[in-house]
Structure 1
């Protein structure tokens, strides 16, 4: 069987094991006598130097089955054992020491009976625990032995394939193997002809249909894409991806039909039929690799996942084609020698030119990837600090790795390390293919997400595609491990270790506990949000409660619901909260020192929600900031100022500081408008005019009525004030603006002067400002003339 088939079978076995491991089983008591026989046999197999790998694998599989039974048996009667221990704890400790009052006979008899039942239940559990540890240790020993043998095989040295002496033997072995395959053909030619004549219509039909699909499948898929683009199909990127799969499916189906046509002739024996059956598998793999290269290094720059220059993308696709051809040749060589015993240098000699060609193509690809530069990085101006994206670093790193592998693998093969060379270059190529597949599927899921959310192409830069890519990368890790030589048992052992979880105090936390926690918490959170939505939209609006009280109730239910959801999730996951006592103690110390402000704001937020001195929508002033309360959270309150800026105020400042609430309880508020008139104006007349103006405003309350006060004899004017109460204080500036306009217009009509500041200037010596006479000026000029 070829390495590709082994890889596929190993992956299938891993998936089957994972599926079976997910099925819950009731714990049963194992057969300990039979287990002793199995354990002794496994110990002898591990110690024996002539034990084959197949025998070790068989022993390991039996040990894994028993270990699973023992693991389940460790929890046998767990509920009953816990109940007995609680009953014993309720009885308390028996009296000890001299002079202690003896325990009553009834209590002593009850304690003895409970201990007897507990020991009876614990005996099989303890035996299962000991057997589990023994099985786990034996499995570990077998894994170590298998890994050591695998390492020895990698370091095994064969004669160098460069020696011409081995070329003749390699060609002879290849001819012998091919001759044996050809010799399996039927000896009776007449019978073969009659068989062919009877199946000729089916053979011709399969051949024609297969050739049509192979040679026309690419054209048909391209035509479908063009037709969808012509009709403007919605989600065109998704359709183009789906239709592009036809470039793999149609030719692969054609290869399958050709293989069926060849097998229908009955001209090949068992090994020849195996080779024919291998052709569609190899062809499909080759088409798949080519398809991934077409997606990652697409001809269309908008669809290319790694945006290189067009010439370099074309070169990469060409080198990928070379590598796929070399993979096909290597798979055929391996299939020809399957079940044969050629010389130890035969496969090394035959694979040397293939590996050199593959290494050359891989080196060229690595060199191109090494020079990759992210377009985002190139657009950074010289004044900005250059940034290197994660994709840039990964692509360059993969390019450097490809260049190193392309150089090291042929050197190992030339040096005689055939197994090491074969275990290095093909796995690296497989890794590159898998990473390309992850990128391709991530782009497809991003397009699907964009079509569902209506974001379109912009969704490719969203956060969700990053999570899609992370999940796809995690799913590809087991496949990469198998490609690099990991055994299925290694992955199953790693999964078993992960499934057992880790101990936290006396509590063991497993991945299923995290899953249970997440599911229960999400359900509780969703129910809380549904209740909040129902209260906010249907229940509370039908009450007489103000909007602030409604928001307080909705917020309080949200906090309580999230707390209960977390509590139920912890309980449902089986996490013992007593194990968190030390953590809680450490947190209390941290709260006492570093988190006291956070706790103070949290408690203040709870007080704000309960007492409601301020509510959402209130107009408040705190700390010199004035605006509307938009959101009250457990730590801070967000205030939107009149400048449309948000001010985040800690809740502790709202509780301990001075807060002015202009709309607490109601929106009624007082407005004061100062007015000044010139001296000599009739003050009673001014009072009447201002009273009429204030009463004419529709938003001014008539009860209490507006008042006009003559306050002072100012330095420049007679000072009045219009004081009135507004129905809605939020309109204070608008009403003040209207009153001022009305006062200006009315005073203009009545001829009333609105004075401005005036000052009289008195000079103590005004004569000093008089202009000088001409005589005095001439005298002064004579005095300034220079002496002869």
Structure 2
């Protein structure tokens, strides 16, 4: 039974590859045919619309969305049978290059090559078709984007009737009065007749709950949170927890009224208020409230009320109230401008109303820019100016002054869209910058609370990186503020995800992230293996320090190399495409980096041959020290003065190096001794031998050697030659032996002479005093 089952499995294993090859390229089904027909129709329609160039931006956006969906399908279709295609290419590569023209190869190889090539061509047909369709869709999307951008530019630069003309003002005022009258009529409509009153009174419970919630959110919430803020502020000592608490309270005071305005919009809907205003009230009231209360919240962060609070702008406490007033005014004007654009009833007089609002916003922005510029100049002129942000802040203030002048003038001359976009984009940019600064300050305070290191929180790396990431994440928002379409941002993101092509390799963020993850995992595994070898394996062997260090260093270099190769392979980076670049760089390596390569090769030799190991006492170029680290480029030695000296490995290989502890730690010590003339030399020799043999650091095999060197100018010269067990104790041993020699010579009465000189005067009579006259 077992043999029969094994035979059946073997038959299936041999049959499955053939079945897979036959089923690898199935005939297109009805679904694929329908997709092809759909793309043909979409392609024809897109070409017709783009050639006519008469479609509205909204219609072009809809067409673009369809093209994007089609392009995504084609991008997915390019990966069909990718695994099988790679397998066939690998099989063809294993057969080698085809024979040159005029030569033949074995019939079996030729048949196999022809079969594999036919299968590969058949599988590549839908892939190449998808690539062609992808390129066509991408080109149509680019043409659509160009038309949309052209239409938006024309609309932005369109010149209407100049609102600065006083003739247009009375009709605008009358129209505004009519709209306000109609709005009052619409609000009073639910209370006009008993029938209408009965209609909303039937929903009295719901209305009562909503009115109660609106009162709490719009009024009482700010009062209660204001009391809580004052209580926290009284105990604040400029600590990060207190600042975070005040920030949360102020944010709640800004958000809850916005929610309350949304409740008010629901109340108007339940009352049955009619008119065109009700259609936009559900989103206009919360949006306008968000602009006004958001401007007030940001003004409190940029110009705080308390003198000791941390401020985003270098404005003194006496001028902060003025800054808050200007910021809130800009928020109110921006909300009114949104209301003018939202109402179709004001479309015919929107230019005049926007001009009035633009003048108010321009004057406010001018005053705010002057305030920031004057205070930043005053700080920059001070003796203690060390802030990097004063320069960019002054530039920002000058841009505010420029926009405050240009936007109202452009609007007054009839370029209403240009003026409003310039003004409102500038205001929203200022709000975004203030929001980023507030969030970054909150990140540093949160880090200080988590780590309980208040003083060093601003110097920490982690919150700095988070703040930088926050600034980078705000770049798409800034692009949207200045008119970049969301579809354009999506296109940029898709291009970024697709990456770029380097040779035959597609480099994308996904492949780069894969490379980083695999390499980090390989590096961690290498560190773990080195730790196991250092703590558990190598201590149980008989290797010395040099061998242990060589094994650990080799393991580290091998592990990092394998991790890099595995990461490159996993990320799909084809190193063959970099062969030309590597060949060009080899010239620079050979000439410009020859010293680095020489030191690298010397480091490998040091690790393998081990003429020098960690802890050795060496002398190189007249410098003595202990070897503390051996790397592939240089070796670090520590001198007896506790100084680290970095020596290139090439000097250790090509130069003369004295290693006092290469084979063992023993070494010879020579001490010169001089005695006075007339001393018994045999006795001196015996005393010196006794002193040497008595010292515990002196080995007796080979025995100490006492040599009578000769007759010096002032003494009889002897030398004590001894071998020490550990040469590292040579200084201490020399000192102890010298002490012992002095003590024994004093006991034995042996004199150690000092240098004596006879002075002869050639004319001593000149030293006699002259006789008196």
Normalising by the residue count of structure 2, what TM-score does the alignment of the two structures yield? Answer: 0.86
1:783 aligns with none
Deviates more, 1:651-660 or 1:289-298: 289-298
- Given the alignment of the two structures, is residue 79 of structure 1 paired with residue 83 of structure 2, yes or no? yes
Out of 249, 252, 255, the position equivalent to 1:249 is 252
2:224 aligns with 216
Out of 715, 718, 721, the position equivalent to 1:717 is 715
1:275 aligns with 281
Q: Deviations over 1:27-71 (max 9, x none)?
A: x96812110111111222223344111111110000001011112
User: Quick one: distance in 2 between partners of 1:528 and 1:392?
Assistant: 48
Contact 1:359/1:410 (<8 A) preserved? no
User: Quick one: distance in 2 between partners of 1:657 and 1:739?
Assistant: 35
CA shift, 1:96, in A, is 7.3
CA shift, 1:264, in A, is 3.6
Contact 1:91/1:111 (<8 A) preserved? yes
Contact 1:290/1:317 (<8 A) preserved? yes
- Given the alignment of the two structures, is residue 121 of structure 1 paired with residue 123 of structure 2, yes or no? yes
Deviates more, 1:640-649 or 1:87-96: 87-96
User: Quick one: distance in 2 between partners of 1:222 and 1:242?
Assistant: 11
| 2:169 match: secondary structure | helix
User: Quick one: distance in 2 between partners of 1:595 and 1:192?
Assistant: 90
2:145 aligns with 143
Cα separation, partners in 2 of 1:96 and 1:593, compared to 1, 3 Å: closer
Cα separation, partners in 2 of 1:702 and 1:510, compared to 1, 3 Å: same
User: Quick one: distance in 2 between partners of 1:181 and 1:627?
Assistant: 93
CA shift, 1:564, in A, is 0.7
Deviates more, 1:178-187 or 1:143-152: 178-187
Contact 2:179/2:345 (<8 A) preserved? no
The 5 Å alignment of 1:175-324 reads 175-185=177-187, 186=190, 187-188=192-193, 189-191=196-198, 194-195=201-202, 197-199=204-206, 201-203=208-210, 205-210=212-217, 211-224=219-232, 236-237=239-240, 240-241=243-244, 243-257=246-260, 259-260=262-263, 263-264=266-267, 266-267=270-271, 268-269=273-274, 271-272=277-278, 274-275=280-281, 278-296=284-302, 303-311=310-318, 315-324=322-331
Cα separation, partners in 2 of 1:463 and 1:204, compared to 1, 3 Å: closer
User: Quick one: distance in 1 between partners of 2:538 and 2:454?
Assistant: 39
Deviates more, 1:657-666 or 1:586-595: 657-666
1:495 aligns with 493
Cα separation, partners in 2 of 1:196 and 1:48, compared to 1, 3 Å: same
Out of 166, 169, 193, the position equivalent to 2:168 is 166
- Given the alignment of the two structures, is residue 32 of structure 1 paired with residue 29 of structure 2, yes or no? no
User: Quick one: distance in 1 between partners of 2:608 and 2:319?
Assistant: 67
The 5 Å alignment of 1:547-562 reads 547-562=545-560
CA shift, 1:485, in A, is 0.6
CA shift, 1:463, in A, is 4.5
Deviates more, 1:562-571 or 1:543-552: 543-552
Matched residues, number: 732
1:442 aligns with 440
Contact 2:241/2:445 (<8 A) preserved? yes
Contact 1:443/1:460 (<8 A) preserved? no
| 2:718 match: secondary structure | strand
1:329 aligns with 336
Q: Deviations over 1:717-749 (max 9, x none)?
A: 233333333333222222323333444445455
| 1:648 match: secondary structure | strand
User: Quick one: distance in 2 between partners of 1:554 and 1:702?
Assistant: 38
Contact 1:670/1:723 (<8 A) preserved? yes
CA shift, 1:419, in A, is 0.8
CA shift, 1:477, in A, is 0.7
1:9 aligns with none
The 5 Å alignment of 1:364-375 reads 364-365=370-371, 367-368=373-374, 371=377
Out of 345, 363, 366, the position equivalent to 2:369 is 363
CA shift, 1:519, in A, is 1.1
CA shift, 1:550, in A, is 2.0
Contact 1:517/1:572 (<8 A) preserved? yes
Cα separation, partners in 2 of 1:260 and 1:308, compared to 1, 3 Å: closer
CA shift, 1:393, in A, is 3.6
User: Quick one: distance in 1 between partners of 2:151 and 2:387?
Assistant: 42
2:650 aligns with 652
CA shift, 1:575, in A, is 0.7
CA shift, 1:498, in A, is 1.6
User: Quick one: distance in 1 between partners of 2:234 and 2:710?
Assistant: 88
User: Quick one: distance in 1 between partners of 2:502 and 2:593?
Assistant: 26
Which consecutive residues of structure 2, in runs of 5 or more, have no partner in the other structure? 1-30
| 1:530 match: secondary structure | helix
2:11 aligns with none
Deviates more, 1:598-607 or 1:314-323: 314-323
User: Quick one: distance in 1 between partners of 2:505 and 2:78?
Assistant: 15
CA shift, 1:327, in A, is 2.5
1:341 aligns with 347
Deviates more, 1:509-518 or 1:257-266: 257-266
User: Quick one: distance in 2 between partners of 1:672 and 1:542?
Assistant: 38
1:469 aligns with 467
CA shift, 1:579, in A, is 0.6
2:17 aligns with none
CA shift, 1:475, in A, is 0.8
Deviates more, 1:573-582 or 1:539-548: 539-548
Out of 321, 330, 352, the position equivalent to 2:358 is 352
User: Quick one: distance in 2 between partners of 1:753 and 1:222?
Assistant: 93
User: Quick one: distance in 2 between partners of 1:542 and 1:264?
Assistant: 82
| 1:35 match: secondary structure | helix
1:404 aligns with 402
User: Quick one: distance in 2 between partners of 1:757 and 1:85?
Assistant: 93
User: Quick one: distance in 2 between partners of 1:302 and 1:692?
Assistant: 83
Deviates more, 1:675-684 or 1:311-320: 311-320
CA shift, 1:487, in A, is 0.4
Cα separation, partners in 2 of 1:430 and 1:754, compared to 1, 3 Å: farther
| 2:79 match: secondary structure | coil
Cα separation, partners in 2 of 1:630 and 1:310, compared to 1, 3 Å: farther
User: Quick one: distance in 1 between partners of 2:105 and 2:123?
Assistant: 26
User: Quick one: distance in 1 between partners of 2:94 and 2:311?
Assistant: 71
Cα separation, partners in 2 of 1:349 and 1:378, compared to 1, 3 Å: same
| 2:231 match: secondary structure | helix
Contact 1:532/1:558 (<8 A) preserved? yes
Higher relative contact order (CA 8 A, sep 6+): 1
Cα separation, partners in 2 of 1:420 and 1:661, compared to 1, 3 Å: same
Contact 1:619/1:663 (<8 A) preserved? yes
Out of 48, 52, 67, the position equivalent to 2:52 is 48
User: Quick one: distance in 2 between partners of 1:406 and 1:490?
Assistant: 29
| 1:759 match: secondary structure | coil
| 1:423 match: secondary structure | helix
User: Quick one: distance in 2 between partners of 1:557 and 1:57?
Assistant: 58
User: Quick one: distance in 2 between partners of 1:279 and 1:634?
Assistant: 69
The 5 Å alignment of 1:417-566 reads 417-449=415-447, 456-566=454-564
| 2:510 match: secondary structure | helix
Q: Deviations over 1:189-241 (max 9, x none)?
A: 532673575456524642453222112314414534655769xxxxx425622
CA shift, 1:710, in A, is 3.2
Contact 1:263/1:276 (<8 A) preserved? yes
Out of 74, 79, 101, the position equivalent to 1:70 is 74
Which consecutive residues of structure 1, in runs of 5 or more, have no partner in the other structure? 1-27, 231-235, 381-387, 779-788
Q: Considering only aligned residues, what root-mean-square deviation do their CA atoms show, in Å?
A: 3.2
Deviates more, 1:339-348 or 1:118-127: 339-348
Cα separation, partners in 2 of 1:295 and 1:682, compared to 1, 3 Å: farther
- Given the alignment of the two structures, is residue 59 of structure 1 paired with residue 67 of structure 2, yes or no? no
Normalising by the residue count of structure 1, what TM-score does the alignment of the two structures yield? Answer: 0.85
Cα separation, partners in 2 of 1:207 and 1:371, compared to 1, 3 Å: same
| 1:345 match: secondary structure | helix
Contact 2:673/2:717 (<8 A) preserved? yes
Cα separation, partners in 2 of 1:116 and 1:655, compared to 1, 3 Å: same
Deviates more, 1:241-250 or 1:102-111: 102-111
1:667 aligns with 665
Contact 1:181/1:272 (<8 A) preserved? no
